[in-house]
Amino acid sequence: MKDIARDQELVAAQSAADAFDADRALTTLQALCTPDMQGRAPGTAGHDLATEFLAAELTSYGLTPELDSFAIREIMRLAAQPTLRAKGARLDRELVHRAEFAEHPRSGPMPEPVTGTVSEDGGAGEWAALSTVPQGNAFVELARTLVSRGAVGILTAQNADASGFLTKRVQGPSPVGLPVVAVRPDLLADAVGGVVTAHVPLIRVPATGTNIVASLPGSNPEAGPVLLTAHYDGVGSDPERHFPCAGDNASGTAVLCEIARVLTSSEPLPRPVILALVDAEEIGTLGSGHHARALREAGVEPDALNLDMAGKFNGKIAIELGPADPAPRHVIAALDSAGRRLGIPLYAGMVSSDNRRYASAGFPAAGIGVGAAHYHSPLDSPERIDPDALGKAGRLLLETIHHLATRN
Condensed to tens digits (0 to 9), the pLDDT of residues 133-150 reads 898 899 999 999 999 999
How many H helices and E strands in the chain? 10, 16
- The secondary structure element, H or E, covering residue 31 is helix 22-32
pLDDT at position 87? 98
Which residue stretches of the chain have pLDDT < 50?
A: none
Q: Do domains 2-75+205-405 and 81-200 have the same CATH topology?
A: no
pLDDT at position 221? 82
For residue 351, give the nearest of 292, 391, 310 by alpha carbon. 310
For residue 32, give the nearest of 234, 229, 305 by alpha carbon. 234
pLDDT at position 191? 98
Distances (CA, A) of 198 to 116, 127, 259: 9, 10, 47
> CB within 8 A of 66, min separation 6: which ones?
212, 213, 214
Domain 2-75+205-405 grouped into CATH 3.40.630.10:
yes
- Sign of the alpha-carbon dihedral angle for 354, 356, 357, 362: positive
Ranges of each domain in the chain: 2-75+205-405, 81-200
Q: What is the DSSP string of 337-352?
A: HHHHHHT--EEE----
pLDDT at position 312? 97
Burial of residue 1 (CB within 10 Å: 0-12, 13-18, 19+) is: exposed
**What pTM does this model have?**
0.96
For residue 77, give the nearest of 109, 100, 121 by alpha carbon. 109
CATH of 81-200, one of 3.50.30.30, 3.40.50.2000, 3.30.70.100, 3.90.1640.30: 3.50.30.30
3 state SS of 101: strand
Number of C-beta neighbours around residue 294 at 10 A: 15
